[in-house]
Amino acid sequence: MTTPLTTTKGLPDTVEAPGYDRASLRPGIFHLGPGAFMRAHLAAYTDTAIAHAGGDWGIETAGLRSRDTVDILSAQNGLYTLLVRDAEATQARVVGSIVAAHPPSAILARLVDPAIRIVSLTLTEKAYPRDAATGDLDAGHPDVAADLAEPDNPRSAGGLIVEALARRRAAGIAPFTPLSCDNLPENGAVLRRLVVGFAALRDSDLAAWIDANVPFPSTMVDRITPASTDTTYADAQHLTGRQDKAAVETEPFAQWVIEDRFASGRPDWEAAGALMVADVSPYEKMKLRMLNGTHSLVAYLGFVAGHEFMRDAMADPAIAAAARAHLACAAATLDPVPGVDLSPYADDLAARIANRAIAHRTYQIAMDGTQKLPPRIFEPAAEMLESGGEWRPFARATAAWMRYALGVDAQGTPYALRDPRETDIAAALAQTPRTADTIAAALIDLPGLFPQPLRASPDWRREVATRLDELLRGGAG
């Protein structure tokens, strides 16, 4: 039997190991959501930052609900292998920045520890319960309602952060900095609104204190990271000689842009290549509209055409051409982004999405469409409709999502949508004859999904229906 990865001693020379003494590393960050993305991104940046500049910035982590990854990480002393794949080779690196992994029940006490100075999050879009019309906290969301009923036993990210900050304030402990690393425009501002909104429903003094004392920097995070598979684990074992069930695989590219506002310090993430800026919003918009929007388009077109992986979808000339058109259209919605030329950026994105070395499932990206599409597709479409710019490629992406939302493939085999609004979608479609016009109308009229300018536009409705009709007839939309 192969030895599990529990120590960095004796790793082959070809494997990069942490460049610091792990035994003396103390925690400074608590990370909510120890999924593959965090292990490919924040933990890797922090590993490099500690190697360059030291500091007690070890990462403790937990999932809000599940302890699967946590148990594996604990058994491996926090160690895991990061595989970086490109066309030529796969490089293995063992990352050492995770110092402890906890069950959900331990989170609150750890967030109150003065050693924890940053609480970072990768929880996906649906962990930010917002009212679609106002952007304020959705106080009716079941997790929010449960945490308001029992504030000292919170289970949502917002409830945990508010209770931990309240306890720190009462004990005279400086606040930590909440750091959202999720794919939302102005993710720090969104989190701030939710946390302050939640606190206000409990105690207006607490809300005012958080507002005045806790910074919520926004970040743009980027690294294409598919869910790990048995191939990931087998390749990690082959390259390191250790068994590793927490291994992750990713692409060579990584980008992190962070607003430099921290209450109690931060690691030297610049040493790992992070860009510290005053305002992240131009970068975030660029990445959401160009990378993520094109990702969603290719995932939906690819999935309904029967492509399991993104790389195979991009090998289909009709889908690759649609991706190119989408990239150009998305770029045209952006204000200038400091230091970025959007034309080579678009070329790089097309190559990254098509990367043959990465097995990224179309079905993985297709999930949670109602959460992902508003900033990626609907908001730029609404802006372009209002300003007279090009918006048609956004209608194609929307139609591709609608085709996916029907929940049956071209052979008539059903699949799960994996979307928090799948019940609403099924109910809207249940009473609808299966024509493109009626399907498009039913989905555009779902409450709180499409921005008003799109709902009100006959041109938008017609274009979406036309594209959907093409897809229903088996074309590429």
Q: Which is nearer to ligand CS2, 81 or 187 (by Cβ)?
A: 187
Least Cβ distance, residue 326 to ligand CS2 (angstroms):
13
Structure tokens, 377 = 């597709």
Q: Which is nearer to ligand CS2, 38 or 165 (by Cβ)?
A: 38
CA atoms within 13 Å, Cβ hemisphere of 96: 22
Q: Which is nearer to ligand CS2, 295 or 396 (by Cβ)?
A: 295
Q: Which is nearer to ligand CS2, 186 or 222 (by Cβ)?
A: 222
Closest CA to 55 of 79, 26, 33, 93: 26
Distance from C-alpha of 400 to C-alpha of 282, rounded to nearest angstrom? 27
Least Cβ distance, residue 226 to ligand CS2 (angstroms):
8
Strands 98-101, 58-62: pairing is parallel
Least Cβ distance, residue 427 to ligand CS2 (angstroms):
25
Residue 407's contacts (CB-CB under 8 Å, 6 or more residues apart) are 414, 415, 416, 417, 426
Least Cβ distance, residue 440 to ligand CS2 (angstroms):
23
Q: Which is nearer to ligand CS2, 31 or 295 (by Cβ)?
A: 295
Least Cβ distance, residue 8 to ligand CS2 (angstroms):
28
Please answer whether residues 350 and 317 qualify as being in contact, where contact means their C-beta atoms are separated by less than 8 angstroms: no
Q: Which is nearer to ligand CS2, 5 or 349 (by Cβ)?
A: 349
Least Cβ distance, residue 291 to ligand CS2 (angstroms):
6
Distances (CA, A) of 68 to 106, 191, 245, 390: 15, 26, 10, 45
CA atoms within 13 Å, Cβ hemisphere of 82: 31
Distances (CA, A) of 416 to 244, 364, 423, 425: 30, 12, 11, 12
- Per-residue DSSP letter, 206: H
Using CB under 6 A as the criterion, which residues of the chain lie in contact with ligand CS2 when the complex forms? 183, 222-224, 292, 295, 364-365, 372
Instruction: Report which secondary-structure segment, H or E, holds 118.
Output: strand 118-121
Least Cβ distance, residue 364 to ligand CS2 (angstroms):
6
Q: Which is nearer to ligand CS2, 222 or 419 (by Cβ)?
A: 222
Q: Which is nearer to ligand CS2, 237 or 294 (by Cβ)?
A: 294
Least Cβ distance, residue 124 to ligand CS2 (angstroms):
9
Please answer whether residues 16 and 92 qualify as being in contact, where contact means their C-beta atoms are separated by less than 8 angstroms: yes
Q: How many residues are given for the chain?
A: 477
- Per-residue DSSP letter, 389: -
Q: Which is nearer to ligand CS2, 236 or 365 (by Cβ)?
A: 365
Residue of closest CB approach to ligand CS2:
295
Distance from C-alpha of 51 to C-alpha of 47, rounded to nearest angstrom? 6
Least Cβ distance, residue 121 to ligand CS2 (angstroms):
14
Please answer whether residues 27 and 60 qualify as being in contact, where contact means their C-beta atoms are separated by less than 8 angstroms: yes
- Per-residue DSSP letter, 269: G
